Copies of this chain bind each other. A is one copy, B any other.
Amino acid sequence: MKHKTISDIAREAGVSKATVSRVLTHPELVKPATQERVKRVMEKHEYVPNHIAQSLAGNPTKMIGVVIDELSNFFFIEVAEGIGNILSPLGYSMLLVSSRWIEEEETRLVKSLISSQVDGVLLAPVAKESRALQLLKASQTPCVIINQIPSDTSLSFVAGDDLEGGRIAAALVNEQEAEQVIVITGFAHQSVEDRVAGFKEVLDSRFLYKRYRFVETQADGAALVTTLIRTEELEQKKTILFVTNDNVAIGIVNELVEQGISIPEQVMVIGYDNIRATSFCRIPLTTVSQSTIHIGEQAAKTLLQLINKERTEALHNLIQPVLIRRHSL
């Protein structure tokens, strides 16, 4: 037989299932002597109660669903790490899944999480209005949104102030001398558009400005460098690159160095996120920090409050970005 059940233990210890259940969850209600006896039997068989059954019977699952957009992206990994920091010590496990930036996938995953009766979910949505959010609401699953400001104000979120972050980047650019400014963005996402909007708002009009889209990975970034050298004459014109996420920026910087272009003398680069790798990459990156791990921790804490009903109104946490100057600009 596969698993010993509560009945097996009960029979062998000569008590009822209820008593066994009690030593599991309310030991104080059981006489020490019998408690001892039951425990001995449990240990003898290495009995582990069936969590699934416990949950069906009404207990919380102690599982939190975490939906990120991309597993191989340091930004999300660090967010997940922050989440783990908070959740793990409290006995929660996280069901970590990736939507791979696909909205249907996100919906499917959220359905599956709801179906798994997770106690709450942390979601980094692919798009602004998502079916996933409706489902979450309909199922009354506590949740907090990460890295996006949902239009439904009843929802909690923890996100960076992307508009402001863009402005900060532009302000720094305005202090420089350069012949052109190029903005490089990846997946179309609200946060990215806001960063660009803030950037344009403040950017000095004396700069030639151009944008490259759909540069989504480190590899994409590296590949883009060759193109830029040709089409934008990187080697002739002093250039500033604003890359809206560090993950890609790192790929770009590395390739620039490989191609022998000097940073920041010939090309300056400013990134966004301040993931950990920016401090030890080829040329330590100047970037707009949104304290990635902190986002995860904050979101997890809020979710916990929601779950424990210590909080009823939504938390709208717009984290203020900060400029981190390193060597790339």
Contact = CB atoms under 8 A, between A and B. Distances in A.
Contact of A77 (B46, B77, B282): B77
A197 B52 CA distance: 45
Contact of A282 (B2, B134, B280): B280
A96 B98 contact: no
B48 A111 contact: yes
B112 A50 contact: no
A76 to B, nearest CB: 10
Interface in A82-135: 84, 88, 93-98, 100, 109, 111-117, 134-135
B280 A250 contact: yes
B98 A95 contact: no
Interface stretch (A53-61, A153-161, A229-237): A53-61
Nearest to A117: B52
A134 B71 CA distance: 31
How big is the A interface, by class? 35 or more
Nearest to A73: B81
Given A81-B72, A250-B280, A254-B279, A95 B63 contact: yes
B114 A48 contact: yes
A51 interface: yes
Contacts of A276: 218
Given A52-B56, A139-B3, A95 B93 contact: yes
Interface of A: 2-3, 46, 48-53, 55-56, 61, 63, 71-72, 77, 80-81, 84, 88, 93-98, 100, 109, 111-117, 134-135, 138-140, 218, 250-251, 253-254, 276-277, 279-282, 284
